[in-house]
Structure 1
Amino acid sequence: MKLVDPIRDIKKINAMKNYLKGKDIRDYTMFVLGINIALRISDLLNLKWSDVLKENKRSFKEVNLIEKKTKKERKIKLNKTSQKALRELLNNSDTLSMDDYIFKSREGNNKPLTRQQALNILKNGAKVVGIEDNVGTHTLRKTWGYHAWKNGFNPALIMENLNHSNLNVTKRYLGIRQDDINDLYDSLNI
């Protein structure tokens, strides 16, 4: 299995958002949520409206779920960017049932996008906007971790949120490269 990379360049992230939003609001929302809440793709695609919306269908709640892979409980507070994307998708939906998957496939009745469909969406978008790194479904989660690290968040918090067993796993996972280390040297002038 070939390793995938985070999207390191904010301009490329914004280009991807713009492209996906113009193509399909569902795909845009999947991308935005993926890079903002750091769920594995299997957990992301299985989210239902009842997982994110309060019963009044107007406001958002904390997402509580058990991760498929780790069987650990996750509590996720949706940030403003995630809420805005979800609101746009909600406003573009003809009907809303709380039991509907947020990222519905067009195949069948109320089925989530498949991992393969999500991969195709991401790879196509990356190609269109000129992202040359290897992109896959795990890119979403890695992008969250990479930018959390670049923005100075405590590596222990990042490790905890990604459910990694130790910091070395997280460092490898984030794909920290020599240019990131060089930026550190350039930025720190004691």
Structure 2
Amino acid sequence: MAEVLAVKNVDTIKLISHLLEIRHSKQMSDIWNIGINLALRISDLLSIKFNDISEDRLIIQESKTGKIASIQLNPKALEIIHRIRQEHPSHIYLFQSYRNKQAINRIPRPLTRRAVGKAFASIGEEVKLDLGTHSMRKTRGYHLYQSTKDIARVMQMLRHSSERVTLRYIGVTQDDIDKDFKELVL
């Protein structure tokens, strides 16, 4: 699997959302926008059930680590969640598969990681970025780091245990760190 990147330009983040909606579906755009705001791994993002959400907080057990993630939902995430709930009141999953005919008579399931990955990769080709399902999480981490320069805070948000892993994960390179040293003169 190819390494995917954080999206560093805010306008590109918005463009990706728009392209996902017009080229694929509103649901794919919603996945992108919620994913950017929650910084969850794709497996955890797709497994969110409406009963995991209580008022303005999401509480789930991460599948990879087994850790409990308690995430305060921001206004944008809440707006999307409320709209999806209104449009699909019988759904169990936030991103439930419902478009194909096989889904109608089966036990409800979320969209697959593969379907989301294919949609993201096709938009990535269009915008000339290595885009994948981890891009949302990496993008959130990158932008938090850029606004705070607090790697410990980013590590907590991503629930990582190593600064080195977090810096590599969000795409902060030695060149970026060198540039910060050059530009910050006291």
TM-score by length of 2: 0.86
Which residue in 2 is equivalent to 1:50?
51
1:138 maps onto 2:131 in alignment = no
Change (3 A) 1:81 1:41: same
- Note the alpha carbon deviations across 1:4-54, whole angstroms, 9 max, x for none: 1111111110101222334522111110111111110000001112222x4
Shift of 1:86: 2.1
Return 5+ residue gaps in structure 1 as ranges. 55-59
Q: Which has the higher helix share?
A: 2
Alpha-carbon distance in 1 for matches of 2:140, 2:174: 19
CA distance in 1, matches of 2:115, 2:25: 13
Amino acid in the other structure paired with 2:129 = D
Q: Which amino acid aligns with 1:5?
A: L
Contact 1:25–1:89, Cα closer than 8 Å, also in 2? no
**Aligned partners of 2:56, 2:118: CA distance in 1, in Å?**
30
- The equivalent of 2:82 in structure 1 is 87
Matched, 1:112 2:98: no
Q: Report how many aligned residue pairs link the two structures.
A: 179
| TM-fit CA distance, 1:118 | 0.8
Tell me if the contact between 1:25 and 1:88 (Cα under 8 Å) persists in the aligned partners: no
Residues 113-148 of structure 1: per-residue CA shift (max 9 Å, x gap): 1110010121122233x1x23111111111110111
Aligned to 2:21: 21
Provide the aligned C-alpha RMSD in A: 2.1
The 1-side partners of 2:31 and 2:147 are apart by 23
Q: What CA distance in whole angstroms lies between the structure 1 residues aligned with 2:67 and 2:176? A: 31
The Cα of 1:154 is off from its aligned counterpart by 2.2
* Match among 62, 65, 74 for residue 67 of structure 1: 62
Match of 1:96 in 2: 89
**3-state SS, counterpart of residue 148 of structure 2:** coil
User: Equivalent residue for 1:127?
Assistant: 125
Deviation at 1:181, TM superposition (A): 3.7
Q: Is 1:156–2:157 an aligned residue pair?
A: no
Provide TM-score, normalisation by structure 1.
Answer: 0.84
* Conservation of the 8 A alpha-carbon contact between 1:38 and 1:142: yes
Q: Say whether the 8 Å CA contact 1:48–1:100 is kept in structure 2.
A: yes
- 1:179 to partner: Cα distance: 6.0
Q: Cα distance, 1:153 vs. partner?
A: 5.2
Cα distance in 1, alignment partners of residues 145 and 71 from structure 2: 18
Flag the 1:180–1:85 CA change in 2: closer, same or farther, 3 A. Answer: farther
State the match for 1:11 in structure 2: 11
Matched residue type, 2:168 = R
Partner of residue 57, structure 1: none
Shift of 1:186: 6.4
Distance 1:20 1:89, change over 3 A: farther
